[in-house]
């Protein structure tokens, strides 16, 4: 990470235009608990949409991910990596739930068939 007062000097020389996203929270020690969802789908047709991740620990505590602003494209047997963040940390995950949405009101509802998925903590990579 970068100190907030110096991010421009560090990022601008590497690419133009530069986009930086900062998400803050009152939770310590991290602003967000970030995970990478690595997913391979099985659908024959291409699906485009959003995935919301919900994780639950053994005590029943649940936290839901923040929705990404950009839709992901899912193709058969192609891996997609999605960065997702939570405002609270769950140390020992008992259950992972995914919700797929196209965010359209008109048209048929589509299912996303998952062949394989992996959820990896970026804050605690050994998990």
**Residue 57 in contact with residue 96, Cβ under 8 Å?**
no
Pairing of strands 62-64, 114-121: unpaired
- Distant-in-sequence, close-in-space partners of 8: CB < 8 Å, separation ≥ 6: 18
Backbone angles phi, psi at 9, to 5 degrees: -65, -30
CATH 3.30.450 for the 34-121 domain, yes or no: no
pLDDT number for residue 124:
83
Domain chopping of the chain, boundaries? 34-121
Averaging pLDDT over each range in 29-33, 53-57, 71-75, which range is the top one? 53-57
- Preceding omega of 17 cis (within 30 degrees of 0): yes
The overall average pLDDT reported for the chain is 79
Bridge partners of 72, per DSSP, are 49
Q: Name the more confident of 63 and 6.
A: 63
What average pLDDT does range 97-106 have in this prediction?
82
Q: Name the more confident of 123 and 9.
A: 123
> The whole model's pTM is what?
0.68
């Amino acid at each position: 990470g970068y100190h907030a007062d110096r991010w421009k000097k560090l990022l601008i020389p590497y690419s133009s235009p530069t986009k930086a996203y900062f998400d803050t929270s009152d939770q310590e020690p991290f602003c967000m608990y970030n995970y990478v969802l690595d997913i391979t789908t099985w659908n024959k047709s291409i699906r485009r949409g959003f995935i919301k991740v919900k994780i639950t620990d053994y005590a029943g505590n649940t936290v839901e991910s923040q929705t990404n602003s950009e839709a992901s494209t899912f193709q058969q047997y192609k891996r997609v990596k999605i960065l997702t963040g939570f405002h609270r940390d769950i140390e020992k995950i008992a259950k992972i739930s995914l919700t797929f949405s196209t965010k359209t009101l008109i048209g048929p509802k589509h299912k996303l068939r998952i062949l394989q998925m992996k959820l990896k903590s970026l804050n605690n990579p050994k998990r």
